[in-house]
Structure 1
Amino acid sequence: MKAFGFLSFGHYGYGRGPGDPSARESLLHAIEIARQADELGVNGAYFRVHHFARQSASPMPLLAAIAATTQRIEVGTGVIDMRYENPLYLAEEAAQLDLIAGNRIALGISRGSPEPARRGWEAFGYTGSEDPRGADIARAKFETFLDAVSGGWMADADPDQFGSGGRLRVEPQSPGLAERIWWGAGSRDTAEWTGRLGLNLMSSTLLTEATGASFADLQREQIERYRTAFREAGHERVPRVSVSRSVFPIVDSGDLMWGQLRGGGSDQVGTIDGFTSTFGKSYVGEPDRLVTELQADAAVQAADTLMLTIPSQLGVEANVKILRNFAEHVAPALGWEPNQDGPVSGYPDGPR
C-alpha cells in the first residue's frame, strides 16, 4: 500500500449537537480533519459530491480552503458528478486550484451516483440526455473537460481582436493535472473504458454487479481488467488505483463504540439505481486482526491507494482518532510510510 487517505461523505444536519453538525460546522470540521491528517502524514483528503442533499456539494471552495491550510496532503474528490458540471468552467477551476495547491489536486469524476432529484442535472440547465441516468451527457462533457485540462483548443478566436483568428484554450493550464484525474468506476466494463482512456481508476464504494463472488474478489477482477486495458491502449505511465473501505481500529476503551458496526462485517447485495449491486463490508477490530483481514482483501492488495470512509458527522476528534489509529497501528504493517514529501511518488511535488 503506497498511500492512504480519507473519503468523507460530508453529511450534515441542523446543528443540534454531536452527530448533527450544521452545514458550516461540517465544512469547518472537514478543513480541520484534513489539517490534522496532513500532520499525521496521511496522503489524501477526498470528498464525495452530491446535489439537492445535506451533504458535500460543489467542492472547489472546500478543496481550496484545505489546500490553503495544508502542506503535503493530496486534495481531491470521490467523485464529482459530471452531469451537473460545465466542463470548461470546471477545467478553469481545477487548474487554478491545482496551481495554488502546488500540484496536489487529484479529482475523481464520474457519471455520479443516484441523487434525490429526478433528472436533477436538468434543473442546473443541462438538458438533452436521452439516458434516464444521464450517462450520455456525463461522458460527453467529461471528454470535453479532459481535453480542456490537457491543453486542447476549445474555441475560435475573434478575428476582430486577433487578426487572422485561430483557436483558444482555456486558461490557466496546470501541467500534469490531466494525469491526476480519476474516473469513478462501478463496473468491470466501465473500468476497462477508464483504462483505454488513460485515466486513474477510483473503484467505487459499491459495484453495480453481483456474480456471487465476494466484493473484494469482484473488485480485484475489475482492477485487473482496467490495468490490462490501460496497457493494451499503449499508455506508458504507471496509473493509480484506489479502493475505499470502512476501517475502524479498536486501540483503547474509547474506541469500543465502533464495535456496534460489526453488523456490517460481511458483504451485502442490494439494488441501487436499478442495478443489482454488491456492497463491501466494514472492518472493525483490534489492529492485528485488521492487518490480517486487509492483507487477505484481494482488492486492497491490488490497489496502491486505500481511502478510509469516515463518519464525518461525528466531528473532528472521532475522525482524527480513526486516522491516527490506522496510521500508527495498521498501515505500517501494510507497507505504508508517513507522507513526508508531498503527493504520491511519480506525481509533481507539492510545497515542502
Structure 2
Amino acid sequence: MKNVGFLSFGHWQAVPGSQVRTAQHALLQTIELAVEVERLGLDGAYVRVHHFARQLASPFPLLSAIAARTSRIEIGTGVIDMRYENPFAMAEQAAAADLISAGRLQLGVSRGSPENAQRGYESFGFVPPEGKTEADMARTHNELFLAAIDGAGVALSDPKMTGQQVPLAVQPQSPGLRERIWWGSGTRATAEWTAGQQMNLMSSTLLTEDTGVAFDQLQAEQIARFRETWAEEGWEREPRVSVSRSIIPLLDDTDRAYFGDRSDADQVGMIDGFVSRFGKSYVGEPAALAEELAADAAVREADTLLITVPNMLGVDYNVEHLAALTEEVLPAIGWEPRV
C-alpha cells in the first residue's frame, strides 16, 4: 500500500493573492496543514530546505512542532542540503525531533540544489578542503552525521570530569533513526551509490541527466538500479523509495485560472552545467489525474509519493485539494486512508 504525504517549500511573500505573507505565516500554516493531513488519513508532512530565500530553512524546530501536534503521520525533509550542515549539531537536533515524534522522522538529505547565494555554505563556515568539491564535502558531512546518529564516539572525555578518557557519542540518541535516512538522488549513478550507503532513495521531479526517454521511465530505471544495488550489497532490511509530483485537481474556475494553462510534457534544460530533465505537472479533472498517475512508471515503483503543494494559497485551499485527491485520485495508485 502506498504512503502519500505533502511536500511544502514554504514560500512566503507579501504579494496579491498570497495567504502566506511572512515567515511566521509559512511556519504556522505548515503545522496546521500537517494536522489536517493527518485528519484526512494521509501519511506524511515533508518540508523542503532552502537557505537565503523566503521559504523554509530550519526544519527541526518546525518538524518538532508538527510532531507535538500529531500522533501518526511521518514527518520529514525533502531535502536538507548537507553542504550547510554541522554533522554533529544536526545529529543532536535530528535525534531530538525523532524522540519527540516517537520515531516518525524520515530525514531526506543530499548534496543540495542551486541556492540564491553563491557558495552560501561558506557563509555558514564550511569550505571544501583543497582538491575536493562541494559535493565531496556534502558526502563527508553526511558520513559524519550517519556515524553520529549510529552512536559512534566523536569526542574524547576530559579525565578531570570523568576520571578516564573514553569516546563520547553525541546525545541524545534515537534508536532506529539510521534506517530512516534518505538521500536525494538526481542520477542513476547516485541512486546506486545511495544503495551502497544503506540509505533510502528520495527522487524528485528533477533528474540531472537525460537519456531522451520520458521522465517517469528514466526515474523508474533509477529506482530499479537502486534496488538492484541494494540486493547486491546484501542489506537485510527492505529499502524505501519516494518520488514527488506536482498534482493539482481542477475543481472550479479559480483552479482553472491559477493552473489551467499548463504543459503536458517534460522539460529539458541546464542545471549546474548538466543537461537535466524536469517531470511534468499533473493538472486536470480528478478522473483524468487518476488515470495519468496510475500510468506513471515511477509512481508505480515507489512506495511513497510526496505531493508538492502551492503553499502560498493557504491551508484551506490545500486541504480542499488534498481531500479531493484522497477521494478521487489516490486510490488509483494503491493508496488507502489511514485511521
Trace 1:182-221 onto structure 2 (pairs within 5 A): 182-221=182-221
* Structure 2: segments with no counterpart, 5+ residues: none
Query: How many Å apart are 1:17 and its aligned residue?
Result: 5.2
Amino acid at match of 1:285: G
Q: Which residue of 1 aligns with 2:313?
A: 314
Q: Which residue of 2 aligns with 1:18?
A: 18
Amino acid at match of 1:122: E
CA–CA distance in structure 2, aligned partners of residues 51 and 274 of structure 1: 21
CA–CA distance in structure 2, aligned partners of residues 185 and 130 of structure 1: 25
Evaluate the alpha carbon distance shift between residue 281 and residue 102 of structure 1 in structure 2; reply closer, same or farther with a 3 A threshold.
same
Trace 1:330-345 onto structure 2 (pairs within 5 A): 330-340=329-339
Amino acid at match of 1:332: P
Trace 1:61-210 onto structure 2 (pairs within 5 A): 61-130=61-130, 134-210=134-210
Amino acid at match of 1:311: P
Query: How many Å apart are 1:255 and its aligned residue?
Result: 4.0
Query: How many Å apart are 1:258 and its aligned residue?
Result: 5.2
Amino acid at match of 1:33: L
TM-score, structure 2 as length reference: 0.96
Q: Which residue of 1 aligns with 2:323?
A: 324
Q: Secondary structure at the match of 1:135?
A: helix
Evaluate the alpha carbon distance shift between residue 95 and residue 256 of structure 1 in structure 2; reply closer, same or farther with a 3 A threshold.
same
Amino acid at match of 2:325: F
Contact 2:78 2:184 in 1 (8 A): yes
Q: Secondary structure at the match of 2:260?
A: helix
Q: Secondary structure at the match of 1:262?
A: coil
RMSD value over aligned CA atoms?
1.7
CA–CA distance in structure 2, aligned partners of residues 73 and 247 of structure 1: 20
Q: Which residue of 2 aligns with 1:278?
A: 277
CA–CA distance in structure 2, aligned partners of residues 14 and 66 of structure 1: 25
TM-score, structure 1 as length reference: 0.92
Query: How many Å apart are 1:128 and its aligned residue?
Result: 3.1
CA–CA distance in structure 2, aligned partners of residues 132 and 267 of structure 1: 34
CA–CA distance in structure 2, aligned partners of residues 319 and 162 of structure 1: 53
Deviations 1:155-184 (A, max 9, x none): 112222223311111111111111111000
- RCO comparison, higher one (Cα < 8 Å, 6+): 1
Amino acid at match of 2:36: Q
Amino acid at match of 2:249: P
Q: Secondary structure at the match of 2:262?
A: helix
Contact 1:219 1:299 in 2 (8 A): yes
Q: Which residue of 1 aligns with 2:48?
A: 48
CA–CA distance in structure 1, aligned partners of residues 119 and 83 of structure 2: 9
Contact 1:119 1:132 in 2 (8 A): no
Q: Which residue of 1 aligns with 2:29?
A: 29
